[in-house]
Amino acid sequence: MRPPSLELVLEVRVQVGVPIELGAVGRGRRRIVPILGGTCEGGEGYRDLLNGRVLAGGADWQLIHPDGLTEADARYTLQTAQGHHVYVTNRGLRHAPPEIMTRLNAGEAVDPSLVYFCATPTFETSAPELQMLARSIFVGVGERYPSEVVIRFWKVE
């Protein structure tokens, strides 16, 4: 049995708004980060299929644990240049040393190499030419900036 390999399929750049802080809700602090829009770009071999934009209206419903561990649950829609829609559900984890997480959650710029930010996305679409998104397993690696999140999605082969 060979170990799986990864193929870069998609990079998403999501513009985010000011988080809505709900406060303590049992297991941690709940906050909702609005998704304002953005761009998506297909990896090599996927550009014609996946270049497009992130539509406004999604959000990342985060649960921040007392130790700073963030459970992310982002949901948003992509629209390809051909007009196809892709619904993305992206659940992940983000953590770093406490002082880094404090700065990150306050909206400060932090070196992405200091933060663990990985996710397991799922995709839904009715477009026949994009069904490989719904029929494959992906892993995502993210970077959080003050007004943008960049996530690269790799298909597990």
Q: Using pLDDT thresholds of 50, 70 and 90, give the confidence band for residue 68.
A: confident
DSSP state, residue 82: T
What pTM was computed for the model? 0.93
Which residue is listed with tokens 């921040």?
64
Between residues 101 and 5, which one has the greater pLDDT? 5
State yes or no: pLDDT of 135 exceeds 90.
yes
The residues spanned by each domain of the chain are 6-156
Residue 1 CB contacts under 8 Å (≥ 6 apart), including other chains: none
The per-residue pLDDT for range 77-121, each reduced to its tens digit, is 999 999 999 999 999 999 999 999 889 888 889 999 999 999 999
Tokens found for residue 152: 């690269």
Distance, CA of 51 to CA of 54 (rounded, Å): 10
Q: Using pLDDT thresholds of 50, 70 and 90, give the confidence band for residue 65.
A: very high
- pLDDT at res. 104: 86
Please state which architecture CATH assigns to domain 6-156.
Answer: Beta Barrel (2.40)
State yes or no: pLDDT of 26 exceeds 90.
no
- DSSP E strand boundaries for the chain: 6-16, 20-24, 29-42, 52-54, 59-64, 70-80, 85-95, 116-124, 138-144, 148-156
Instruction: Output the average pLDDT for the chain.
Output: 95
